Structure 1
């Protein structure tokens, strides 16, 4: 048995649930130049299925050249400028009864912009890696004085701390952008916060590149997609009403390498030389096993099938490939599925192999079949666990005039099936949000695997 391990589990700090904010500014901001406010942007079937908000949070150390008031002014101007090439982000979603689809009206109705201050310092908040529900206060999603149909699709917030440090929160409806497009948008936003920089990347707004075929042709089964009993398109995805625990599991690079070496040893013994033993595949297999076994412990049904879904970028998988600067959602879920009793007894190698096969399954024809399935069935991605990886997004590498962030993270929500994997200085962080009993069992199984 391995006795030295470096995994740590971080829980929210109860003392930091209320960050004691005072808001100085809550307003709409508009494109800096005239845009075509009668334009309607086509949304792909993938876009249509992702109607929920994602929150990104950047923390910055104090910078004497950029006090928080200056940051507010510069960022507000940057948002106004970037809303010209990204005019759809100042638009509003409207349900088209004729086509039974959401349309994105580029009507220049505005994006949200907030400025606030906290009575705490960054040091008093403590470890920024902790999955603190209080951080939701740093990424406001709605403006108080607007009706639901008038709410902006994206909101930007600057919050200053008494030490001179500050946070920038960005809330985006996922319909607008996927992770890679979001990274490109943030690079462009940062470029416009400088006084004399052009856009970092020219976005490609042609979402019809991912339109369904006519007529649609479903050539594969798609268990990773669900046709709901009642129509859900056009409605925001709602979170769980259960009380959830939030934890970040810090897996050190030595623990990741230990697991990869363990899988490589199993592969060598089985002469399974084709298995791709990447950090993502191994960590996804680890999460799959621990989530399946923890749910099995609670439900007591080892014959239950547990499906793991994980987002895969499609840009290079299509023929011809999408432009790298494609601006929209070019992701679909890969999946791996098995009974809990098999997930428990199989070696980790088998699970890694199935995770890898799920990614390889996403060929050009498979992707087009999935898009056509969504066209006919008006469904949504679905799995018992849905994993999103930020390992290669590089969100923490975005350079603003005031420098790179001290820390960049996702903000916890109540979408209990979702979990996230993101990098930290020496390893991988895993954010899990589950009911307390299941979270306890997840941690038990995770620890058992790492020290096995």
Structure 2
């Protein structure tokens, strides 16, 4: 398999953006978001991209027309997506279900899917052409909540890209919506999983009562300007297949062998990254795990719930303790932080949002990891089969490039299933990171 073609250039011809309303009349009403949805840290747009190869059985069918019609049908069931957010007193976000619709862009590109390379992962060349940022559409309030671009490729394949307002949904909720579009595109009359709003399930209690410490929302001053973007940033992506994961597990004592791959990999990256950025030995560093809380309620959230159910538990250590202790030290901290996420924990977060006016997650000297390996983006089928790549369109979210990493499922050029992790660091820090990581794993060719 070829490596990603990072130097690829091509031309995309787009038609004018259009608004796609629901295919049938929908209720005009006001729906408040939950207090998990409208926290400050989720008030941004996120981007997903899907690559689909040519399917001979779909010869003569236009993916643009099929998906456009299916989106309109899906919006009948997911009609809040066709509305607009309004901000009320105290910063509370409410969806006005206006039925105005979502932005849809039809496009063609003079490039074949194979030219992108076989091991597809961010960064994607020409992404700004595959998901055009319509001027004036990117605000959190009073703007379209979804922007979709479908780009035909000259090989007969196509690219589906979507930008979504993160206050409306998380990755699991977005996959649910995209899967509904796929089912309707394939001829279904209704989605197999009916959407459930019920945002009150994750709203603050009356009266609110914070029952956890929630260090993830601490106020941490950035005294050393660690969040200031710099010019000498570099991105590399690292592949962790069976050999690399086995090598990391070999470093653990017997009673830690049952730790999850997420815990193992997060501990390794947190440790290597901390050594690479070299904070003072007594400085506190953090790793934030993005956790889907849906199944952690005493009665799990309804299957069709498509609001944000994310938690951001944080593990904390001094630089010296993290870098000098064995790997299982970090695993234990991460495991303990994740284990706190329960129904009471989520209700406590919602209460905290109301009491403290929606604080942001503390990102100073922090590293955030989000596991996309089991979300199901690649499974979304619009009639042309599964995606050859589905998931994050960009390696990072937001203006701080080295804060977050996504864990992306990938088959490498040897045909091995594994996880690719894009990492952003300063040039010198990246050199140290690579050396530390190579000492942790036996495979010398872990960078792709």
Taking structure 2 as the reference length, what is the TM-score of the superposition? 0.87
- What is the aligned partner in structure 1 of residue 316 from structure 2? 337
- What is the aligned partner in structure 2 of residue 291 from structure 1? 273
Q: Is the 8 A contact 1:228 1:379 kept in 2?
A: no
1:368 Cα deviation after fit: 1.9
1:389 paired with 2:389, answer no
1:227 Cα deviation after fit: 5.4
Alignment of 1:186-335 (within 5 A): 186-226=178-218, 241-243=229-231, 244-263=233-252, 266=253, 268=254, 272=255, 276-296=258-278, 300-335=279-314
Q: Distance in 1 between matches of 2:228 and 2:386?
A: 34
Q: Is the 8 A contact 1:142 1:151 kept in 2?
A: no
- Runs of 4+ off more than 4 Å: 145-150, 226-229
What number of residue pairs does the alignment pair up?
Answer: 421
Distance 1:368 1:130, change over 3 A: closer
> Cα deviations across residues 50-100 of structure 1 (Å, max 9, x unaligned)?
11222111111112343597100000000000011111111112221x243
1:141 Cα deviation after fit: 5.6
Distance 1:89 1:132, change over 3 A: same
Q: Is the 8 A contact 1:190 1:401 kept in 2?
A: yes
Q: Distance in 2 between matches of 1:158 and 1:128?
A: 21
1:130 Cα deviation after fit: 4.2
Alignment of 1:346-385 (within 5 A): 346-377=325-356, 378-383=358-363, 384-385=366-367
- What is the aligned partner in structure 2 of residue 447 from structure 1? 438
- What is the aligned partner in structure 1 of residue 405 from structure 2? 419
Q: Is the 8 A contact 2:70 2:181 kept in 1?
A: yes
- What is the aligned partner in structure 2 of residue 45 from structure 1? 35
Gaps of 5+ in 2: 222-226, 412-416, 444-448
Q: Distance in 2 between matches of 1:334 and 1:109?
A: 37
1:257 Cα deviation after fit: 2.4
Taking structure 1 as the reference length, what is the TM-score of the superposition? 0.86
Alignment of 1:170-181 (within 5 A): 170-181=162-173
Q: Distance in 2 between matches of 1:322 and 1:414?
A: 27
Q: Distance in 2 between matches of 1:370 and 1:141?
A: 35
- What is the aligned partner in structure 2 of residue 112 from structure 1? 103
Distance 1:95 1:432, change over 3 A: same
1:185 paired with 2:177, answer yes
Q: Quick check: 135-144 or 311-320, which moved more? A: 135-144
1:394 Cα deviation after fit: 1.9
Distance 1:85 1:132, change over 3 A: same
Match of 1:80 among 67, 72, 75: 72
Match of 1:100 among 87, 91, 116: 91
1:161 Cα deviation after fit: 1.9
Q: Distance in 2 between matches of 1:68 and 1:375?
A: 53
> Cα deviations across residues 378-435 of structure 1 (Å, max 9, x unaligned)?
2122341111101211221222211111222312245321110021231111122333
Secondary structure of the 2:346 match is helix
Tell me how large the CA RMSD over aligned residues is: 2.5
Secondary structure of the 2:304 match is coil
1:240 Cα deviation after fit: 7.2
Alignment of 1:13-162 (within 5 A): 13-16=5-8, 18-37=9-28, 39-49=29-39, 50-66=42-58, 70-96=62-88, 98-137=89-128, 139-140=130-131, 142-144=133-135, 151-162=143-154
Q: Distance in 1 between matches of 2:235 and 2:314?
A: 24
Q: Distance in 2 between matches of 1:382 and 1:67?
A: 51
Q: Is the 8 A contact 2:204 2:354 kept in 1?
A: yes
Q: Distance in 2 between matches of 1:40 and 1:332?
A: 26
Q: Distance in 2 between matches of 1:135 and 1:166?
A: 15
Q: Distance in 2 between matches of 1:375 and 1:356?
A: 28
Q: Is the 8 A contact 2:407 2:419 kept in 1?
A: yes
Secondary structure of the 1:245 match is strand
Distance 1:121 1:107, change over 3 A: same
Q: Distance in 1 between matches of 2:122 and 2:116?
A: 12
> Cα deviations across residues 351-372 of structure 1 (Å, max 9, x unaligned)?
1111111111123322222221
